Structure 1
Amino acid sequence: MAMSLSLRAVAVLIVLTVEVQASENTSRCKLSAPDERAKNALRLLEPLTNQSFTAKSQDGNDSYEYVFKVCDDAEGMKDAGVVQKDKKGKQTRIGSYTDTQVIEGSDWVMLIYRSGEKYDNHCQNEQRKAIIIISCNKSATVAHLTMVQEQNIIDSDCFYLFELDTSELCPVAQSKLSPGSIFLIVCFSCLAVYLIGGFLYQRLVVGAKGVEQFPNYAFWSEIGNLSADGCDFVCRSRGSREEQPTYRGVVTEPLEEPEERDDHLLPM
């Protein structure tokens, strides 16, 4: 039992050590301008660490091979981020990750390794420099490095230009649905489940026929009647309502004259 616990503890420590190392891989790059934006751009390249990328020169005879690593020693050469190898196996440090500059774009990152070995007969014997443009390519299942060109026919600021296509740099697709649309979809989905599930239950379990198969038919029919009554009360006028009193004129009737009695004029 104690041995099992100790093995588990060792396994946990190994996993934690690997995770810490993985999270600190890009920190080995020494930024020439260590601002927060450059650090964030460098963290985007974390999935590409612990990998080695190779490319052939584009002069047509494959006389050189280039090896590139993100913030790590290429071909085991100390501090070398990009190494050039000729056919005889001679290695030349093109750029050092101890002198790094990073520029971030919308879906690309430009990684610049400076402080390479000095030119022999070009560019006024200045130090070599490697520029690697790492771009998003969703169809690139495996990252592919391409040597674009070596600019060494100018007097100064010469460079080696590389391109690396990878899907690791592609931004995560965001949902285009608004919160209101999501709410409506959820409501319609729940309504569909309620109607279909209730219909099957009423038909197969209860054995209802006709409109009785509608789930909670009695309840919904009462809701309909009450809604109709409310609409009828609000929107329709009724004859039973008391009429407002109206003005009536005084009827003029002819006055009856008192009947004259002349009985006393008769002879007795």
Structure 2
Amino acid sequence: MKLCRIPCRGSVLLWAILTQLLLCRNGVFAGNSTKACKLLDKSESEKKVLDRLEPLAGKNLSAVIEVDKESYTYVFQLCGDAGGVQNAGVIQKKTNSEDKPTIIGSYTSTKAIGGSDWVMLIYHNGDKYDNHCNKEARKAIIMISCNKNKAAGDLEVIFEDREKQNDCFYLFELDSSAVCPPVQSQLSAGSIILIIGFCLVAVYLIGGFLYQRLIVGAKGMEQFPNYAFWVEVGNLSADGCDFVCRSKNREEAPAYRGVSADALDEEPEERDDHLLPM
């Protein structure tokens, strides 16, 4: 049994490696990143645009339409084998048919153009037309628009433009939150200051109340932090407001009209010492 322990572990490791290789061959791990896409221009701006679509990687999105009483299924995958077809970003096949699917565009020839809330993904080098567009290679254009409520919406086939000599294309639309701009804070500096002020006041009131009640042992209104100070502040504020805002003469008016205040002043005391007998 001891001699068989090492070969058994080696067999398990070998089976694990073979399983991972098989999964990669079937596209389970190959389609979970945008790195599999090969950009035609290889510019940094296009790489950044493609990185925005990372949440869509590895997902097969399909749509079914009817043309001339024929049903066609379109399958799209971002930087992965659509429908399991190697190097195919978008494929077309007849529904419920065993015919070989048509490659509309390949992710090995990708172009990415982006705006603030949209991305246009272009797959080139699809299968060539038989009788249209001078038999040039097919091309798929996938317009991905912002929709904050959908991680990956339904794939929609808009139309196929093949009634010209060259530059024909298939147009698709898709909604996704991956291309939405990041949400910025709507709070102004004044709002932030007010929120901080309210938080400090709440901490002061709650902390002071607990201290007065649990540590000091105060009861009633005395539980309010610095109660005596705030009562005095109220009185002083009222006095200050009365002193500053009231402009009337503080000397009281006489009780009767026509009598001046000077007449009511106390007359000087008269001395009558000369009337006393000598």
Q: Structure 1 residues 40 and 226 mapped into 2: Cα distance closer, same or farther (>3 Å)? A: same
RMSD: 3.4
Q: Structure 1 residues 195 and 176 mapped into 2: Cα distance closer, same or farther (>3 Å)? A: same
Q: Is the 8 A contact 1:23 1:46 kept in 2?
A: no
Residue 100 of structure 1 deviates from its aligned partner by 0.6
TM-score (norm 1): 0.69
Structure number with bigger Rg = 1
Q: 1:77 aligns with which of 58, 78, 85?
A: 85
Q: 1:171 aligns with which of 177, 181, 197?
A: 181
Aligned residue pair count? 215
- 1:215 corresponds to: 225
Distance in 2 of aligned mates of 1:91 and 1:78: 11
Residue 189 of structure 1 deviates from its aligned partner by 1.9
Quick check: 1:54 aligned with 2:62?
Answer: yes
Distance in 2 of aligned mates of 1:141 and 1:119: 34
Q: Give the unaligned 5+ runs of structure 2.
A: 1-15, 21-28, 242-278
Distance in 1 of aligned mates of 2:192 and 2:65: 52
Report Cα offsets for 1:219-239 as digits up to 9, x if no partner.
Answer: 5567789999x99xxxxxxxx
TM-score (norm 2): 0.67
- 2:94 corresponds to: 86
Residue 39 of structure 1 deviates from its aligned partner by 0.6
Quick check: 1:129 aligned with 2:139?
Answer: yes
Q: Is the 8 A contact 2:31 2:80 kept in 1?
A: no
Report Cα offsets for 1:51-92 as digits up to 9, x if no partner.
Answer: 100012353746210110001111221111001111323301
**Structure 1, 216-225 or 164-173: larger mean CA deviation:** 216-225
Q: Give the unaligned 5+ runs of structure 1.
A: 1-9, 15-20, 232-268
Identity %: 55
- 1:105 corresponds to: 115
Residue 180 of structure 1 deviates from its aligned partner by 3.9
- 2:50 corresponds to: 42
* DSSP-derived class of the 1:153 partner: coil
